[in-house]
Structure 1
Amino acid sequence: MAKKAPRRTAERILEVTLELFNRFGEPNVSTTLISAELNISPGNLYYHYPAKEELVNALFMRYESALQELLGAAPGVHDVEDAWFFMHTLFELVWQYRFLYRDLNDLLSKNRRLETHIKDALLHKTTAFRAVLDGLEHAKALSMNASEREVTATHMVVMLTWWLSYEYVRDPRHALEPESAEKSLLRGAKHVLGLLLPYATGAHKQHLAALLAAY
């Protein structure tokens, strides 16, 4: 039997860096710590990623690719169940790359490339949420005019993007720990979906209310 090819060092570096960034926050993780955690020399790390900024950019590219794929499903949301699944999937991605959201202001202040791409990500989120609301309104699950859909889409993006910051302020010692993930994600999804409740119609309103009550 052929031996499995060892994972490429660059891949391992990104995986461990993501774990450390998520656990301690990007500003608190040095390249020295990363190389020690990987049990490789700083020179080996430098060979693959000459600066910590390049690690951040590489991880963001992965996040951005996954986000674009998820947001591409927005036009297929036609009922409350679809919206529930869509929202949960987005929050799971946010949690997977939570260091970006935890340290967003700090990252933006020192990374011009990230600044540009984050703006694009916000725009894509807004467009996707607008598509979700358009689909739900077209399916008669919501009753909203164009202005209401625009405002609500923006509110949804703001809440999705800064939810983990809110959780962190509420409980700095535990909010971003792995054991807090499920409750944090559920609370976030509940509040974002709750924005739709005043506009939900008939049986869709009852279904959405039941889903929210189950959180």
Structure 2
Amino acid sequence: MRTDIHNWQPITVSEACAIFSAVPVQWCMAGGWALDLHMGKQSRPHDDIDILIRRDEQLTAYDHLSKEWTLYKAENGKLDRWEKGEFLITTDDIWVSKDDHSPWAYQIMLADTDHESWIYKRERSIRRDWEDVISHTQEGIPYLKPEIQLLYKGGSSAIREKDQKDFLQLLPLLHPQSREWLRTALKKQFPIGHLWVEQIKKMEV
């Protein structure tokens, strides 16, 4: 088990693309970088870098990545080695470094799916065609669509300051249909109310 959770030296987006273009899984950039790729510029410093893959393709990813990287499963506040052949059912995050002593280089997020549908784990009735959760930059870099990335941010147990800033920065740039999808999804997860739902409603006035 490792405890050095702040020991990050993240790879670049270009390096992530080079790594995952050689892995035969469906993937896309996620987290803050996904939002920046949508905007076409880096809006703030990023302490880490996230790549999203389908949960059902995790073992393929492991077999390819473990040749050069050491992979840890992050769950319940612990970071334990991910062993060969171990299918992760409840773990959502994988932290990756060159070896047991190197800084963390990137994080893999495991997305639940049902056939060709992406499933939002915090409210499993929220689903979307897998092909409709990913967009691409002009250079062909795949990234998680902003309304879905914002749902991950807004749907967490606590909205961090950087998440709020990301939301306010992206909100005016979202297509009206994307804003409505985000508003509807947040209302479904938080039927008693959510700050972002009210802020989205103001945009529609």
TM-score, normalised relative to structure 1:
0.29
Q: Which has the higher strand share?
A: 2
Q: Which has the higher helix share?
A: 1
Larger Rg: 1
